[in-house]
């Protein structure tokens, strides 16, 4: 038998997030958690796969996501199992459907006040991979579910989102908002749009032509240069909103102004998913080329009912973490993240004991410490400490053990100090506080 030496690689559209990037990801997600928790949102952890039908019903069977992009499978027939052999499951392409499914399943309408939840995790869509577009990508999202549809909720959600971006230093962004009406006014508008589109059907591309019948709002999303002039002349939803929707949108803008949130209106912002009503919003960021949307969101007042739950209002957003991180990296404004603080360079058995002990103490004090598992000459130790990017090398040899003092070398400028164990801990702890501040 010949040995199969095929090397495995990550599947197209998936990727590994390696250090040091993983530290940036963790920091970004932690900044989101801290920000969202300061607005009293709490985390919900959801399954990665659900019944295909859940997504078909909520996201919409005619959307690209459901009709073309889901990873769907069935578990197959198992005589022992009571599961339907024909039951199909899909990797989640987004998480709002799961949040709503969970809301209904756990009767969260009985929880006090508005339910404010956030989630963090991977999503899956079989899209054509390119920069900023992956088949496994990551989202950070938040949802508010409850009885109220006050515009202040929409505004608070948007404020929280923009506050998070500010804290993460993702500042070269633009927030776009729109209202796409509700079940009272949108159907008439969609019909009007369809009529107008039929008149120009021979001048638009095949995708838009198809959407005239399936989902005319999506034509407004088109990026094709030759369609732009035609789309520019189509009827605008803002001229067709009912009084309630018009008022809600006006109130939202007032609320955003009083919270000091800059925005632009974009009447073509309809979003790809079927379940949106009234408020829709999107944030775009610089440095990303064509895939420049870093967050999409909106109100979905009918979704809970559509999935068999009680009448409930809802609003939420999803941030594309991959793209947000790409934009941060392009801007060069990266945070200085805690790196290796101390490399313990030891030589000799007596020094080793001291080294193990001091490494424990430093780690307890919250410092990142590298303790070489095997003895090395000081020259090699110091060279490795340098390559690993350690801030300090702590030198422990026979002299240090005998005198009970340690030599601490700052690698950036080779500044060297002799310190007692007590002073060493004190010094490194205060230094850690300063670098974190």
Residue with tokens 């997504």: 55
Q: Which is nearer to ligand AMP, 23 or 293 (CB)?
A: 293
Q: How far is the CB of 130 from ligand AMP (least distance, A)?
A: 9
Q: Is the dihedral of CA 59, 125, 283, 292 positive or negative?
A: negative
Sign of the CA dihedral running 144, 148, 154, 156: negative
CB of 320 to ligand AMP, least distance (A): 2
Name the packing angle between helices 206-214 and 186-199 (round to 10°). Answer: 140
- Closer by beta carbon to ligand AMP, 186 or else 323: 323
Give the Å distances, CA to CA, from 119 to 36, 48, 55: 10, 12, 17
| Identity of the residue, 309 or 320, whose beta carbon is nearer to ligand AMP in the bound complex | 320
* Residue placing its CB nearer to ligand AMP in the complex, 273 or 367: 273
| Least gap, CB of 271 to ligand AMP (angstroms) | 6
Residue 108 or residue 295: which is nearer to ligand AMP going by CB?
Answer: 295
Distance CA 194, CA 406 (A): 79
Q: Are strands 342-346 and 392-396 parallel, antiparallel or unpaired?
A: parallel
Rounded to the nearest whole angstrom, what is the least distance from the CB of residue 121 to ligand AMP in the complex? 12
Other beta carbons less than 10 A from residue 320's beta carbon: 25
Helix axes 243-258, 151-167, angle to 10 degrees: 40
Question: For residue 215, how far is the Cα from the chain centroid?
Answer: 28
The nearest distance, CB 134 to ligand AMP, in angstroms, is 4
Residue whose C-beta lies closest to ligand AMP: 320
Q: Which is nearer to ligand AMP, 65 or 104 (CB)?
A: 65
Least Cβ distance, residue 11 to ligand AMP (angstroms): 14
Long-range residue pairs from 223-230, CB within 8 A, at least 24 positions apart, any chain: 223/290, 230/200, 230/203, 230/204
Nearer to ligand AMP, 120 or 428 (CB): 120
CA distance 195 to 367: 66
Minimum Å gap between C-beta 294 and ligand AMP is 5
Are 271 and 298 in contact, with CB atoms under 8 Å apart? yes
Please report how close the Cβ of residue 233 comes to ligand AMP at its closest, in angstroms.
27
Cβ distance to ligand AMP smaller for residue 299 or 409: 299
In the complex, which residues of this chain contact ligand AMP (CB under 6 A)?
Answer: 94, 125, 127, 132-134, 137, 139, 272, 293-296, 318, 320, 322-323
């Amino acid at each position: 038998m010949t040995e199969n030496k095929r090397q495995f690689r990550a599947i197209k559209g998936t990727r590994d997030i390696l250090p040091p990037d993983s530290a940036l990801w963790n920091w970004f997600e932690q900044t989101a958690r801290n920000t969202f928790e300061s607005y009293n949102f709490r985390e919900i952890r959801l399954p990665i796969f659900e019944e295909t039908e859940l997504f078909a019903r909520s996201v919409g069977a005619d959307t690209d996501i459901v009709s073309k992009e889901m990873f769907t499978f069935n578990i197959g027939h198992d005589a022992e199992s009571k599961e339907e052999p024909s039951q199909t499951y899909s990797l989640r392409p987004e998480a709002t459907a799961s949040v709503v499914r969970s809301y209904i399943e756990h009767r969260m309408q009985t929880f006090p006040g508005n339910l404010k939840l956030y989630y963090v995790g991977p999503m899956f869509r079989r899209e054509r991979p390119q920069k900023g577009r992956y088949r496994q990508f990551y989202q950070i999202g938040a949802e508010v579910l409850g009885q109220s549809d006050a515009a202040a909720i929409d505004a608070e959600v948007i404020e929280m989102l923009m506050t998070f971006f500010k804290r993460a230093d993702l500042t070269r962004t633009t927030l776009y908002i729109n209202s796409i009406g509700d079940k009272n006014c949108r159907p008439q508008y969609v019909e009007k749009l369809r009529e107008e589109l039929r008149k120009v059907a021979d001048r638009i591309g095949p995708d838009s032509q198809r959407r005239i019948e399936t989902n005319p709002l999506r034509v407004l999303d088109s990026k094709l240069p030759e369609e732009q002039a035609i789309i520019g002349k189509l009827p605008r939803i803002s001229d067709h909103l009912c009084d309630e929707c018009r008022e809600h949108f006006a109130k939202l803008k007032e609320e955003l102004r009083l919270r000091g949130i800059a925005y632009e209106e974009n009447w073509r912002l309809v979003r790809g998913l079927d379940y949106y009503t009234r408020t829709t919003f999107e944030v775009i960021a610089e440095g990303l080329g064509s895939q420049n949307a870093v967050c999409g969101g909106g109100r979905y007042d009918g979704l809970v009912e559509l999935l068999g739950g009680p009448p409930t209002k809802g609003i939420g957003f999803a941030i594309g973490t991959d793209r947000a991180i790409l934009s941060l990296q392009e801007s060069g404004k990266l945070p200085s993240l805690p790196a290796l603080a101390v490399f313990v360079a030891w030589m000799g058995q007596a020094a080793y004991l001291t080294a193990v002990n001091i490494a424990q103490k430093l780690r307890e004090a919250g410092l990142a410490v590298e303790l070489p598992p095997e003895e090395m000459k000081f020259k090699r130790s110091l060279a490795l400490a340098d390559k690993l990017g350690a801030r300090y090398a702590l030198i422990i040899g026979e002299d240090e053990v005998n005198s009970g003092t340690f030599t601490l070398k700052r690698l950036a400028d080779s500044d060297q100090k002799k310190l007692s164990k007590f002073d060493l801990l004190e010094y490194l702890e205060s230094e850690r506080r300063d670098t974190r501040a």
